[in-house]
Amino acid sequence: MNISGRNKLPGKVMDIKSGAVMAQVTLEINGQQVVSAITNDSVAELGLKPGDTATALIKATDVMIIKQ
């Protein structure tokens, strides 16, 4: 299976915080934290839990650039 989304960053689930509708999943990717806000239903359907290997998927049009 191939996905058009340009950015697939493999990492590990560090933490999951659940609300009524949304959940916040914190990944560690190359020693850096990456935070994702997805639905609770997604967390349940994927059976996500801390320690899992997981990949962040990000569409190129959703990436901004900061220049110092």
**What residues make contact with a second copy under the rule CB under 8 A?**
1-9, 17-25, 27, 29-32, 34-39, 41-43, 45-48, 52-68
Residues 27, 54, 37, 20, CA torsion sign = negative
- Rounded Cα distance between 67 and 27, Å, is 24
Q: How far is the CB of 41 from a second copy (least distance, A)?
A: 7
The residue written with tokens 């990436």 in the block is 63
Query: Rounded to the nearest whole angstrom, what is the least distance from the CB of residue 14 to a second copy in the complex?
Result: 12
Q: What's the min distance (Å) between Cβ of 52 and a second copy?
A: 6
